[in-house]
A = this chain, B = another copy of it.
Amino acid sequence: MVQNMKVEKKRGRPRAFDTKAAIGKARDVFWDRGYAAASLDNLSAATNLNRPSLYGAFGDKEDLYLDTLEGYRQDGMDVLTEALDPSLPLRDNIARVYAGALEIYLHGDTAARGCFLIGTATAEAVQHERVREVLGRSLNDFDGEIEKRMRLAVERGELPEGADPQTFARLASAVMHSLAVRARAGDSREVLEAIARSGVELICGSALGRG
């Protein structure tokens, strides 16, 4: 049932490329240049697909971009849920979330890439409603995933009794947003890790949650 989804033999000529891989390559282009500055030639070169193939497989440039955004959101959620393993203390969870984020953000050829969503989708969000929708939904999904863990933390006493899980989740996200921006602005790993540590401290800190 899992593998049946693609077993229906398609009629015509089979694709000579892997869709997921192509989206990944396209994502790298958008990540470095931003959506608007990424040309179809750039994308075509990076994916080894000529423009008509790109167009046939993904639709126009905006459609392709939305696909890369969705893929990133999904990957991000996977990393996040793994980092939030509830068998670990809350403090470790949040630290792992930030560490995982920095692992992604600090990659880059010429300069650190930061967060793909925050680094590129924000720029288009005002004009392109669909991009704004994906961006907003992604941020909310991240918040929601963290909020689940925060709820557990309140139950377990890792956070003060009256603490609002949603509020704590949003503040935990806020630190991550800042890391995303600062990484792309060129801040060093040392600075970013220091911010991450102090964020963990502030949110899960002994002063508040005696976590």
Give the B-binding residues of A (Cβ under 8 A): 31-37, 108, 110-114, 118-120, 122-127, 129, 132-133, 135-136, 139, 160, 164, 167, 170-171, 173-175, 177-178, 180-182, 184-187, 194-195, 198-199, 202-203, 205, 207-208
CB neighbours (8 Å) of A126 from chain B are 31-33, 108, 110-114, 119, 184
- A207 CB to closest chain B CB, in angstroms? 5
Q: What are the residues of chain B within 8 A of A31 when measuring CB–CB?
A: 126
List the number of copies, as a whole number: 2
Q: A110 to B132, alpha carbons, bound, how many Å?
A: 11
Q: Are A170 and B186 in contact (CB under 8 A)?
A: no
Chain B residues near A194: list those with CB within 8 A.
167
List residues of chain B with CB within 8 A of the CB of A207: 160, 207-208
**Given A207-B208, A208-B208, list of 7 further CB < 8 A pairs?**
A36-B37, A37-B124, A114-B122, A119-B126, A132-B184, A167-B194, A170-B195
| Known interface pairs A174-B174, A202-B202; A184-B125 also in contact (CB < 8 Å) | yes
CA distance A127 to B195 in the complex (A): 25
Chain B residues near A135: list those with CB within 8 A: 184-186
Name which residue of chain B comes closest to A124, CB basis. Answer: B34
- Please name all residues of chain B whose beta carbon is closer than 8 Å to the beta carbon of A34 when the two chains form the complex: 34, 36, 123-124, 127
Please, how many angstroms separate the alpha-carbon atoms of A61 and B206 in the complex? 50
A-B contact pairs, 9 of them (CB 8 A): A33-B36, A110-B127, A118-B122, A125-B184, A133-B186, A170-B195, A173-B178, A174-B195, A207-B208
